[in-house]
Amino acid sequence: MIKYSLRCDSDHVFEAWFSDSESFEKQNKKNLISCLTCSSTKIKKDIMAPRISSGKQKTNRLNQKKDKVEMILNKVRKHVESNFDYVGDKFADEARAIHYGEKEEREIYGETSIDDAVELIEEGINVEPLPGINPKLKN
């Protein structure tokens, strides 16, 4: 769809939408377009400024989306930190002990190496990285 600013032979200005420029030309040749004020069918395109979004607007929208995602991820992190047991660098050992019934089942979080996380997954133990920004790492 394209919106044109139009002007009749009596200098009345109005806008109209067309599926494409060819559609405007065909309708105008057949006098199917008329002025809203005086009903004249002698219509031509008027000067119009195209609406182009600036790179700055795009950057602002992207930054807003990034901020929103960061906020959501930080809420998830805060929920985990408030409701799960922190086990520090013993995460892999605690997760295995819970999985194999050696310790009481509970929600935990902590730190582990990538290699240990891969091994846990291979053993069928569900682990996920904690989303959001760790306040200890934030500048």
pLDDT at 135: 59
- Count of beta carbons in the 10 Å neighbourhood of residue 24: 19
Give the tens place of pLDDT for each residue, 38-60: 999 999 998 776 666 666 777 88
Is the entire prediction scored with pTM above 0.85? Answer: no
**Predicted confidence (pLDDT) at residue 139 exceeds the cutoff of 50:** no
Tell me if 75 sits within 8 A of 83, measured CB to CB. Answer: no
Nearest to 110 by CA among 86, 130, 134: 86
Give the tens place of pLDDT for each residue, 81-109: 999 999 999 999 999 999 999 999 999 99
Give the tens place of pLDDT for each residue, 1-46: 888 999 999 999 999 999 888 999 999 999 999 998 999 999 999 8
